[in-house]
Amino acid sequence: MPVDRPSRPAETVGSPAALLMYGRAGQWLTLCVATALAAGAAGAGVGLVATPGELPQGQAWRIAFVHLPAAWLSLTLFAATTALALVEALAHPPWPPVAAMALAPTGALMSFVTLWTGALWTKPLWGQWWLWDARPLAESAMLALFVAFMAVRAGLANPARAARAGAWLLAAGVVGLAVLAVAARGFNPLHGPMPSGLTRLPVFDGSLGAALPLMTLAFAAWCGAAVLHRLRSLLLEQARDAAWTQTLREAR
């Protein structure tokens, strides 16, 4: 007689997959935190005081060392949140539907940091806190989608319905962003035209040293650590009554 795979959220909280997820997340957590702190300290050090070569806009260009990693992380987290939200809602995985909700708050924070650092960069150089351009528009849309997703997931009582509603929201958001990306392809008054200019920027030809790779690693590791930590807490919250939580050393 084949064993039924737990397919509804209520059945997944007590599953072996939940305990496995909890344990694995814990194993990677320390490594992520250590990497983030080491790479962040090194990256900030190089980025603030030891960049080789001439910075194109003087000292203001140092903002790139936090603005770019934040932007890349927000994009990655948005893609991952959407993918996992769809998987959780449609594919009925054996683990509880906690992965997308673990990613969303960190993604929202990265979006916010991108917009904030972007504003601080445009103000001294172009005189305004906000300039209309495809990328700030897209980033703002992503922040709104992250927040809306969290609200929908937290607001609906039925976990299966919440998972579906959240997933459809993000899927609609991705479609909207794709339309925006196509429509705004030529709309780059602030960031400049996309592919041709990118490789000529100093930060991508290696002339600015290791600051950007280090900071990108630091941001990625920090986001990883935050997501893993939140994942564990979500599992503990959802599986309050499950047998596996009672066996944990920290739950006694």
Chain positions 159 to 198 lying near another protein, rule: CB under 8 A, are none
Contact range with another protein by CB under 8 A, out of 8-16, 18-26, 48-56, 78-86: 48-56
Three-state DSSP class for 235? Answer: helix
User: Rule CB under 8 A: is residue 233 a binding residue for another protein?
Assistant: yes
CB of 8 to another protein, least distance (A): 21
Whole-angstrom Cα distance, residue 186 to residue 14? 51
Give one DSSP letter per residue of 7-71, joined into a string.
-SHHHHTTSHHHHHHHHHHHHHHHHHHHHHHHHHHHHHHHHHH---S--TTGGGGGGHHHHHHHH
Distance (Å, whole) CA 250 – CA 252: 6
Which region among 63-71, 133-141, 146-154, 163-171 touches another protein (by CB under 8 A)?
A: 63-71
50 in contact with another protein (CB under 8 A): yes
Token readout for 186 is 């030529």
Identity at 226, one-letter amino acid code: A
- Choose the binding region for another protein from 13-21, 51-59, 136-144, 193-201 (rule: CB under 8 A): 51-59
* Count of residues engaged in binding another protein, rule: CB under 8 A: 42
Report if residue 245 touches another protein, rule: CB under 8 A.
Answer: yes
CA torsion sign for 230, 235, 236, 237 is positive
Tell whether residue 109 is a contact of another protein (CB under 8 A). Answer: yes
Residue 153 found at the interface with another protein (CB under 8 A): no
- One residue of 16, 54, 161, 176 binding another protein per CB under 8 A: 54
Report yes or no: 226 and 234 within 8 Å, Cβ to Cβ. Answer: no
The count of residues in the chain is 252
Note whether 124 binds another protein by CB under 8 A.
Answer: yes
Residues that bind another protein (CB under 8 A): 44, 48-51, 54-55, 58-60, 62-63, 66-67, 70, 105-106, 109, 112-113, 116-117, 120-121, 123-124, 222, 226, 229-230, 232-233, 236-237, 240-241, 245-246, 248, 250-252
